[in-house]
Amino acid sequence: MHYISTRIGSPILEFEDVVLTGLANDGGLYVPEVWPQMAVNHHVFNKDIDYSDLAFEIIRPFIEENCIEDIKLKSLINDSYKSFKQPSVAPLVQIDSNTWLLELFHGPTLAFKDFALQFLGRMFEHILTKRDKRLTIIGATSGDTGSAAIEACKGRDNLHIFMLHPLGRVSDVQRRQMTTVLDSNVHNIAIEGTFDDCQDLVKGMFNDEIFRDDLNLSAVNSINWARVMVQIVYYFFAVSRLNKYERPISFIVPTGNFGNVYAGYSAIQMGLNASRLVVASNHNDILTRFFETGDMSIMPVKASLSPSMDIQVSSNFERLLFDFYDRDGEAVSNSIKMFREEGTLPGGNKIHALANDIFSGYRTDDEGTLLAIKQLYDDKGVLVDPHTAVGLGALKQLKNSKTLNVVLATAHPAKFPAAVKQATGINPSLPDFLSDLYDREERFIKLKNNLGAVESYIRDVMSSKNL
Ligand SMILES: *Cc1c(COP(=O)(O)O)cnc(C)c1O
């Protein structure tokens, strides 16, 4: 498969280089040159297909054979999903006659990010071993990405991971899921600053060419195509299980960076039979405002009960924009440039009209989030986390009862116990394998919000490892 950038001036790459590169060097994101069509692949629509077998069928066309052969790819996928605690990997739990929760939180760190990162950690190791190369992975996290990336990279040969989180600004569960991983290739850095400061430091390191090349930096955030690709699978999985009802299906997706819902869009381009993608946002609702009116204007981010969606600029939206501009990289470049400079996306109305066929958006504030958690618990005895609850809030506003509805349950309720307790009075318990999380030893270093300090720390660590 060839990959092209959403802007202009980056080389066409194959999968292997796209994975290692992350962001294209013209600032754009890589997308596949064509969408593989699944209609001809009857395995994909088998109602009993096993999750890993389905993943192989979906992922194979995106990766060239000389990167990884069939047998090796199959075992890499099997290993990725063996670490999940439910045999079906992504169970569908019915909550009323038309509605299912697609539970995506049975991976090792209890959020859907494990789906992509368990695969990506193994894929990095495979490629690096093949090329006899080493990589330094740098990331900033407000919580879920950090733990999923660390869990996926710990103990792997050929790579070290440095994860920056804002000191005192992630939940205890989230911090401990990162800082209690004591493998020698895992390095947690608590920055005296905000999540935005952490992100700016990461950008600063990537923009420092000497540092970037000396340390061979790479990234694991959702601009990496491999993450989107792997998430396409569970949309097909849900449809394989619900096809028997012969009804159109709407997916309701709690959204922040637009990665997860873009995977749903990708699935539709590949022939998935779904009627609608519902973008569910909290009060940081730039996407919902866009899908309602065509106006995409940046507003300040305000903290919510669903912190993994407290985002105003959704990076993956650029991939959608690229398609709506008929894959014209120059138009996308200009449009994003104006968006950054003026805070409003130009030509929003035209794009909005195109998007309406597939997407709609609904917002749910903190009050609605708590209400949705409480109502589902009172009615069905099922606890959900606040991100999933934003999806349930959107569902309530959906008027169309003709479709079946699948709400993506993006995190385990015990990952966000405070909101769940506030809504229901119940303190959700961690699964057994994490029940001693609060007794485990933590290791992290605190650093000032200063690029020089962070770079010299990373250089020191890496030279002490003789790398
Ligand atoms: C990351 C995350 C989201 C948002 O996903 P995007 O791909 O950024 O839209 C939603 N819920 C949870 C629990 C998350 O960790």
How many angstroms separate the alpha carbon of residue 254 from the centre of ligand 1?
7
In a domain, 45, yes or no: no
Q: Best substitution site from 29, 112, 407 to test ligand 1's pocket, by max atoms within 8 Å of Cβ?
A: 112
Per-residue model confidence as pLDDT tens digits over 331-348: 999 999 999 899 999 988
DSSP for residue 297: B
* DSSP structural state of residue 430: P
DSSP code, position 273: -
Mean of pLDDT over the chain: 93
Nearby residues of 347 by Cβ (< 8 Å), 6 or more positions away: 335
260: CA distance to ligand 1 center in Å? 7
32 neighbors 3 (Cβ within 8 angstroms):
yes
What is the per-residue pLDDT across 274-293, written as a single tens digit (0 to 9) for each? 889 999 999 999 999 999 99
More confident residue, 47 or 191: 191
Q: Ligand 1: distance of its center to the CA of 234 in Å? A: 15
Cα 236–Cα 241–Cα 243 angle in degrees, nearest 5: 85
Task: Assess if residue 134 is contained within a domain.
Answer: no
Q: Please give the Cα distance from 27 to 192 (Å, whole number).
A: 28
Which span out of 22-36, 83-97, 294-308, 346-360 was modeled with the highest average pLDDT? 83-97
Instruction: Give the bridge partners for 446, in sequence order.
Output: 190
Q: Which helix (H) or strand (E) is 292 found in, with range?
A: helix 286-293
Is residue 408 assigned to a domain? yes
- The verdict on residue 15 lying in a domain is no
Cα 193 to Cα 450: distance, rounded to the nearest angstrom: 10
- Distance in angstroms between the alpha carbons of the first and the last residue of the chain: 33
pLDDT computed for residue 75 by the predictor: 98
Answer whether residue 54 is part of any domain: no
Domain of 278 in residue numbering reads as 92-110+226-424
Put simply, whether the predicted model's pTM sits higher than 0.85 gets the answer yes
Tokens for 216, please give them: 């061979």
CATH number of the structural domain spanning residue 383 = 3.40.50.1100
Q: Please report whether residue 286 resides in a domain.
A: yes
Inter-helix orientation angle 70-82/113-131, to 10° = 140
Q: β-pairing, 404-409 with 99-103?
A: parallel
- Among 318, 387, 388, which residue has the most ligand 1 atoms within 8 Å of its CB, making it the best to mutate? 387
pLDDT at 466: 64
Atom of ligand 1 nearest to the CA of 388: 11
Q: Which atom of ligand 1 is nearest to the CA of 113?
A: 15
From 101, 224, 308, mutation site for ligand 1 pocket: most ligand atoms within 8 A of C-beta:
308
Q: What is the pLDDT of residue 467?
A: 56
Name, in order, each residue with C-beta under 8 angstroms of 53's C-beta and a sequence gap of 6 or more: 43
Kindly state the tokens that stand for 113.
């990010």
- The closest-lying atom of ligand 1 relative to the alpha carbon of residue 260 is 7
Q: What's at 316, amino acid-wise?
A: N
Report d(CA 228, CA 222) in Å as an integer.
7
**Closest CA to ligand 1's atom 1:** 308
* Complete DSSP assignment for 259-283: HHHHHHHHHHHTT----EEEEEE-S
pLDDT, tens digit, for every residue of 392-431?
999 999 976 789 999 999 999 999 999 999 999 999 999 9
Instruction: Give residue 76's identity as a one-letter amino acid code.
Output: L
Query: Comparing C-alpha atoms, which of 458, 460, 444, 467 is closest to residue 157?
Result: 467
Enumerate the active-site residues: 113
Distance 241 CA to ligand 1 centre (A): 24
pLDDT in tens, 66-80: 999 999 999 999 999
In a domain, 324, yes or no: yes
Domain count, the chain: 1
Q: From the alpha carbon of 415, which atom of ligand 1 is closest?
A: 13
Q: What is the number of the ligand 1 atom nearest to the C-alpha of 385? A: 13
235 C-alpha vs ligand 1 centroid, how far in Å?
A: 15
Helix, strand, coil abundance in the chain, percent, nearest 5? 50, 15, 35
- Distance in Å, CA 66 to ligand 1 centroid: 32
For residue 222, name the pLDDT band (cuts at 50, 70, 90): confident
Tokens of 313: 């600029």
Binding-site residues, ligand 1, Cβ < 6 A: 111, 113, 144, 222, 254-260, 308-309, 387, 410-411
In a domain, 56, yes or no: no
What is the tens place of the pLDDT at every residue in 87-145? 999 999 999 999 999 999 999 999 999 999 999 999 999 999 999 999 999 999 987 89
